[in-house]
Chains A and B, each alone.
Chain A
Amino acid sequence: GAVVSQHPSWVICKSGTSVKIECRSLDFQATTMFWYRQFPKQSLMLMATSNEGSKATYEQGVEKDKFLINHASLTLSTLTVTSAHPEDSSFYICSARTVVGNTIYFGEGSWLTVV
């Protein structure tokens, strides 16, 4: 199947700093990527939909100024958590949709711990 790579796999940062997470589609072009957040023992919650070359569409309740999303190419989207706080600690997962077949594949996820 298609491969979606996420980096870093885990990161620890200090409260108040910013951290960037990358999501790459390795063997296909993805005009649309999605960013999710998952707290322990809860389901995936969609944060935003990222379309290449345009502004991301954020879900209700997600602060666009805090979670900056950039989708500058057909294979790369980034999520920057700005001024991170301990409550932002979570598992962040991206997914990418294939143009051919219209199937969604997930990255490996990134564990963020804010201390």
Chain B
Amino acid sequence: QKEVEQNSGPLSVPEGAIASLNCTYSDRGSQSFFWYRQYSGKSPELIMFIYSNGDKEDGRFTAQLNKASQYVSLLIRDSQPSDSATYLCAVKEVRGANSKLTFGKGITLSVRP
């Protein structure tokens, strides 16, 4: 059973701080990793994806991937109250010609004004 673990949380940070969200995965062969944001009662929206080891930055968001340690993280700089949501880590599992996403249970982030 391939697993995606998001065990920390809920997380509360003050406005303007850096929020760090972590995720580990069990399938060493995984190649693609995604972070989704989900507001309460809404569908997930894609924030970032990362394929290569290292950091990938997009605005206030930075995704970090370490395949050797099998973890992927998301940093949110200058956190805003509007960033308060549940953040889902997803790992793409390739099965032959098909692929699917396996999601972690999510981390709920609360940014205090």
Interface of A with B (CB < 8 Å)? Answer: 1, 6, 32, 34, 42-44, 46, 49, 51, 57, 91, 93, 95, 97, 102-109, 111
Cβ distance B86 to chain A, nearest Cβ, rounded Å: 9
Which residues of the partner chain B approach A57 to less than 8 Å between Cβ atoms? 98
Q: Is the CB of A34 within 8 A of B100?
A: yes
Interface of A is mostly: strand
Smallest CB gap from A48: residue in B = B100
**14 residue pairs A–B, Cβ–Cβ below 8 Å:** A32-B98, A34-B100, A42-B105, A43-B105, A43-B106, A44-B44, A46-B100, A46-B101, A51-B98, A104-B34, A105-B46, A106-B46, A109-B42, A109-B43
Q: 9 nearest interchain CB pairs?
A: A109-B43, A43-B105, A106-B43, A44-B103, A43-B103, A108-B43, A106-B44, A93-B43, A43-B106
In whole angstroms, how far apart are the Cα atoms of A46 and B44 in the complex? 14
Interface of B with A (CB < 8 Å)? Answer: 34, 36, 41-46, 49, 88, 98-106
Cβ distance B85 to chain A, nearest Cβ, rounded Å: 13
In whole angstroms, how far apart are the Cα atoms of A6 and B43 in the complex? 10
Q: Is the CB of A103 within 8 A of B98?
A: no
Contact of A34 among B36, B101, B105 (CB under 8 A): B101
Which residues of the partner chain B approach A109 to less than 8 Å between Cβ atoms? 42-43
Which residues of the partner chain B approach A34 to less than 8 Å between Cβ atoms? 100-101
Contact of B98 among A49, A91, A105, A107 (CB under 8 A): A49
